[in-house]
């Protein structure tokens, strides 16, 4: 509805943009008319790096329901990842030990 | 009457503060002078549909210029520039008024334009068209297509870029107005359209409003599910008749 309302989320991460991988520090999130998606309104997210000038972006335009589904999927992925990575410290020790063993050979 | 022969091109114009930007210009190639129209794009930006609408007006006999209101963010694709403008809270009213006046002056300087210039805007551009005619006497006719926020109910919607609700400046309008609205629109709502009409009526303005059942926002836009072919066909016919009546 031409609202100009944009929610901003601070991020730490990377995204693959028009020039390749780039770091991103901000997500501009809005629910308004999309540019490309054949929808009346869409949940738009622009991943940008304001620290680098914000000239490039990775953009998505999602239907309301698919945006909600994505939120659930993100939460589910984090939850299952957290459970799986609870074993990670031991794996890291094992890997570090292996690297140390290799280093001792040289 | 239609004018299937036309020229469409990207042109340069000097906008607000003398800033040099680009615009899309389409004009009929038929001999003689044609009326001019400034087309103000919607919030998503200077996109393919805006170019289509510009050519459609040319097809019906109007030399039409659609200034790229986001050109100052360029270079870049229109969608990327639109994203930057959105993230920055939109364009300032003052700048849009300046760009629109400049586009009208650009048209009047063209030998193929008859000296009459109207303005049409869609969505946020509808609000801009309304606002521009409150702030300048450059235009001979104005079409507001579902412009939201002409009436502002939430004071928080007013800010440095949009300091005044256009309806509060409506007494300054001195050209005829055509308004097209969908009754299912959320912005403007049917109630807001009614209140806009009440103000124009009270002020004694020359206006005609058409409200369409079964249509919401952006019902002209064939690229969106909001498109309503029957209502759009009727609305376009009203736009062409209105502009021909007042611009020649």
Contacts of B224 in chain A (CB under 8 A): 33, 38-40
By the 8 A CB rule, do B40 and B121 touch? yes
Rounded-to-integer distance, Cα B70 and Cα A10, Å: 25
From the list B189, B134, B139, the residue with the least C-alpha distance to B162 is B134
Percent of chain B with pLDDT over 90: 94
Rounded-to-integer distance, Cα B207 and Cα B200, Å: 7
Counting one residue from chain A and one from chain B, the pairs whose CB atoms sit within 8 A come to 64
For chain B, the farthest-separated pair of C-alpha atoms sits apart, in whole angstroms, at: 51
Q: Which residue has the higher pLDDT, A104 or A37?
A: A37
Burial of B22 (C-beta count, 10 Å sphere; 0-12/13-18/19+): middle
pLDDT digit string, tens, across residues B128-177: 999 999 999 999 999 999 999 999 999 888 999 999 999 999 999 999 99
Q: List Cβ<8 Å contacts ≥24 apart for B202-209.
A: B203/B170, B203/B171, B203/B173, B205/B170, B205/B173, B205/B177, B206/B175, B206/B176, B206/B177, B207/B176, B207/B177, B207/B178, B207/B179, B208/B176, B208/B177, B208/B178, B208/B179, B208/B242, B209/B178, B209/B179, B209/B180, B209/B181
Q: Which pLDDT band, with edges at 50, 70 and 90, does B49 fall under? A: very high
pLDDT digit string, tens, across residues A76-98: 999 999 998 886 555 555 555 55
Residue B68 CA, distance from chain mean position:
12
Residue-level pLDDT at B148: 94
What residues does A104 pair with on adjacent strands? none
Residue-level pLDDT at B241: 98
List C-alpha distances in Å: B223 to A35, A61, B49, B98, B229.
Answer: 10, 15, 7, 30, 11
Rounded-to-integer distance, Cα A43 and Cα A10, Å: 17
Token pair of B233 as six digits: 């066909």
Rounded-to-integer distance, Cα A30 and Cα A23, Å: 21
What residues does A59 pair with on adjacent strands? A46
Domains and CATH numbers, chain B: 6-247 (3.40.50.1820)
Is the ipTM of this structure higher than 0.90?
no
Q: What is the CA angle B64-B91-B246, rounded to 5?
A: 30
Of A34, A44, A54, the CB nearest to B84: A54
State the best of A1, A31, A57 to mutate against chain B, taking most chain B CBs within 10 Å: A1
Instruction: Delimit the domains of chain A by residue range.
Output: 7-104
How far is A58 from chain B, CA to nearest CA, in Å? 10
pLDDT at A106 over 70: no
Q: What is the CA angle A65-A68-A71, rounded to 5?
A: 155
Q: Which pLDDT band, with edges at 50, 70 and 90, does A5 fall under? A: confident
By the 8 A CB rule, do B135 and B172 touch? yes
Give the number of other CB atoms < 10 A from CB of residue B51: 18
Nearest CA in chain B to A28: B87
Token pair of A47 as six digits: 């991943």
List C-alpha distances in Å: B68 to A63, B76, B219.
Answer: 28, 12, 22
**DSSP H/E element including A64:** helix A64-85
Q: Answer whether B87 sits within 8 Å of A33, measured CB to CB.
A: no
């Amino acid at each position: 509805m031409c609202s100009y309302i944009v929610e901003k989320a601070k991020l730490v991460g990377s995204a693959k943009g028009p020039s390749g991988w780039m770091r991103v520090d901000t997500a501009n999130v809005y629910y308004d008319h999309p540019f490309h998606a054949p929808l009346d309104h869409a949940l738009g997210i622009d991943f940008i790096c304001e620290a680098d000038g914000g000239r490039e972006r990775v953009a998505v335009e999602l239907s309301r329901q698919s945006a909600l589904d994505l939120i659930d999927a993100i939460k589910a992925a984090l939850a299952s990842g957290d459970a799986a990575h609870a074993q990670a410290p031991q794996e890291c020790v094992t890997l570090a030990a292996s690297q140390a063993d290799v280093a001792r050979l040289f | 009457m239609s004018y299937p022969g036309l020229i469409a091109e990207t042109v340069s114009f000097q906008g607000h503060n003398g800033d040099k930007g680009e615009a899309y210009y389409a004009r009929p190639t038929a001999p003689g002078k044609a009326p001019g129209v400034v087309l103000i794009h919607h919030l998503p930006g200077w996109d393919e549909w805006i170019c289509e609408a510009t050519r459609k007006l040319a097809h019906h006999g109007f030399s039409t210029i659609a200034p790229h209101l986001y050109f100052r963010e360029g270079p870049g694709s229109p969608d990327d520039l639109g994203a930057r403008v959105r993230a920055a809270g939109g364009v300032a009213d003052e700048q849009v008024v300046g760009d629109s006046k400049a586009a009208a002056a650009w048209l009047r300087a063209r030998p193929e334009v008859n000296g009459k210039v109207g303005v049409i805007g869609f969505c946020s551009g509808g609000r801009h068209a309304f606002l521009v005619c409150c702030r300048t006497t450059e235009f001979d006719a104005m079409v507001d297509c579902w412009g939201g926020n002409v009436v502002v109910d939430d004071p928080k919607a007013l800010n440095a870029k949009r300091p005044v609700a256009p309806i509060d400046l409506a007494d300054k309008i001195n050209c005829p107005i055509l308004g097209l609205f969908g009754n299912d629109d959320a912005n403007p709502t049917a109630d807001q359209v009614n209140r806009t009409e009440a103000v124009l009526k009270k002020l004694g303005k020359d206006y005609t409003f058409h409200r369409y059942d079964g249509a919401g926002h952006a019902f002209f836009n064939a690229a969106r599910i909001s498109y309503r072919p029957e209502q759009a066909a009727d609305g376009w016919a009203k736009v062409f008749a209105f502009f021909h009546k007042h611009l020649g």
